Amino acid sequence: MMCPHTLYLGGNMTNKYYMPTRVIMGDDCITKNSELFIPLGKKALIVTGTQSAKRNGSEKDVKTALESVGIQYQVFDKVMSNPTISCVYEGAAFAQANDVDFIIAIGGGSPMDAGKAIALLAAQDIEEGSLFSGNYEDKVLPMAFVPTTAGTGAEVTQYSILTNDKAQTKTSIASDLLFPTVTFLDAKYTVHLGVITTINTAIDALAHAVEGMLSVRASSVSNALAVESIRMIMNCVPVMLQALQSGSEDVINLKQREQLLEASFMAGMVIAQTGTTAVHAMGYSLTYFKDIDHGRANGLLLGEYLKLVEMVRPDLAGRILAAMNFSEAEQFRELLSKFLGEKEEISSEEIDQYSKLAIQTKNIANCVVKPIEENIRTMFELSFAK
Ligand code: NAP
Ligand code: FE
C-alpha cells in the first residue's frame, strides 16, 4: 500500500518525497511539549556524548520533561565523535538490559547517528556483517531527537553513519526505519558551541544543500529547501567570520543560531530525499584516515567540486551560486578558504588511495556531474594546494 506521506512528484523522472518526522521548534520546546514523549513508551534511553548535553542544558530539559509525564529513563553517555560499530552494539545491549522502549538522542550528528543504530539493534538481532545491508525486519524503537549542533540534519534523515573499520571508511545505514519519530529544535543549546565547531557544522549543512542540488535525485521540492537553506547560512557568514577573527562564539546571537539550526534541518530534509554526492564520498577518507572533522573535510573539497560542476554544467552551478549571491565558483572557494585557514598536508599516495575508495561509492553514482577517478585525484590535489 502506498504510504500516505509519500508524494509522487511529476517531472522527467520518478521522484518521491518522504519525511515522516514531526518537528517542533522554538524556545523551551522540549519542556513545553513533554506530552509528545508519552506515546513513545514508558522507559527511555537517553543516548548522548560525554559532556556537552550536560553543559548546555539539553539533557536537563529532557529529564524535566520526562519526569513531568512520569516516564523513567537511563542514560548512555558514551558516544564519541564518528561513532564506532562497537559503541552502538554496546548501547543496544544496554538498552535491552534496561528494558527501555524508546530512544532519545541528544547532541551532534554522532549521538544522533548512534541513537538510530541503537534503536534498530535494540529492536532486532542484526549480525555485524549485515549491519549495512538495509535488509531489516520492520522493527525499530521510537526515537525523539534533540540536535545541539547545526550541521548534520540527522534529526530528519534516515541515515546512521558509522565508522566502518572493515571497509576503512564511514558507512551509512540507510533505512526509512531510521527517521526519528519527533525532533525538537531549540537553538539555545547551540549558543556556546565553539567557533570552530560552529563553522565546521555550518559548512556540513551548506554541503548538504549544495550537494542535494547536484544530485540526480534533486526535485523542485528539495531544490526549494536547498536554496533557502543556502541563503540562511550565507546570511550568517559575516558573523561567523567575525567569530573566527575574534576567537569568540559570543558574537553570534540567538537569532543567528536559530537561522543556522533551521538551515541545517532544511538541508537535512534535502539529503533525506537526494543523498549526498562526490564531496561526502571524498570527505569520508579524510575523516577516517586523517581524523579531519566531517564538516571541515567537506569544506576542503566543496569549492573544487563546484568549480568542476561550473565547467560541465554552468546552469546548475549558476543556480547554487545565485543563492549565495556569487557569480563564480572561485568566489565560493575563496570564502571557504577563509573559514578553513591552514590546510593539512596530503601525500600523493594518500590521494591515490582515497580516490580509489571514493570512486567506488554510491555517492558518485548519485552525481549529475559524475567525476572520473582522475577528476577526483585532481580535486584532492587542488583542495589541499597551499
Ligand atoms: P559531533 O561529533 O556530534 O560533535 C562534535 C563535538 O561537539 C563533540 O565534542 C560534542 O561534545 C560537541 N558538542 C555537541 N553539541 C555541543 C554544544 N551544543 N555545545 C558545545 N559542544 C557541543 O559533531 P557533528 O558535526 O554534529 O556530527 C558529525 C557526525 O555526523 C559525523 O559522524 C558525520 O558522519 C555524521 N553525519 C550524519 C548525517 C546523517 O544524516 N545522519 C549527516 C551528516 C553527518 P560531546 O561529545 O560532549 O557531546
Ligand atoms: Fe554531512
- Ordered by start, the domain boundaries in the chain are 22-189, 194-383
Q: How far apart are CA 111 and CA 54, in angstroms?
A: 13
Q: Ligand 1, residue 190: give the atom nearest the CA.
A: 18
pLDDT in tens, the chain (386 residues): 344 455 444 444 567 789 999 999 999 999 999 999 999 999 999 999 999 999 999 999 999 999 999 999 999 999 999 999 999 999 999 999 999 999 999 999 999 999 999 999 999 999 999 999 999 999 999 999 999 999 999 999 999 999 999 888 899 999 999 999 999 999 999 999 999 999 999 999 999 999 999 999 999 999 999 999 999 999 999 999 999 999 999 999 999 999 999 999 999 999 999 999 999 999 999 999 999 999 999 999 999 999 999 999 999 999 999 999 999 999 999 999 999 999 999 999 999 999 999 999 999 999 999 999 999 999 999 999 97
CATH architecture of structural domain 22-189: 3-Layer(aba) Sandwich (3.40)
Give this prediction's pTM.
0.95
> Closest ligand to 84 CA?
1
Q: Please determine, looking at this structure, whether the domain spanning 194-383 carries the CATH number 3.40.960.10.
A: no
Q: Which residues line ligand 1 (CB under 6 A)?
A: 49-53, 56, 81-82, 107-110, 113, 148-149, 151-154, 157, 159-161, 170, 189-190, 192-193, 197, 201, 204, 294-295
Q: How far apart are CA 79 and CA 218, in angstroms?
A: 33
Indicate if 194-383 has the same CATH topology as 22-189. no
What's the order of all strands across the beta sheet hosting 182-185?
Answer: 22-25, 182-185, 143-147, 102-107, 43-49, 72-79
CA of 35 to the centre of ligand 1 (A): 27
The answer to whether residues 210 and 204 touch, using CB atoms and an 8 Å cutoff, is: no
Cα distances from 305 to residues 49, 311, 317, in angstroms, run 32, 10, 10
Beta bridge partners of 23: 183
Percent of the chain's residues with pLDDT above 90: 94
pLDDT score for 5: 52
Indicate the burial class of 278 (C-beta count within 10 angstroms; 0-12, 13-18, 19 or more).
buried
Beta bridge partners of 184: 24
CA of 284 to the centre of ligand 1 (A): 15
Cα distances from 194 to residues 155, 198, 334, in angstroms, run 21, 6, 23
C-alpha cell at 313: 554544467
Q: Ligand 1, residue 54: give the atom nearest the CA.
A: 47
CA of 287 to the centre of ligand 1 (A): 13
Beta strands in 54-158 (DSSP E): 72-79, 102-107, 143-147
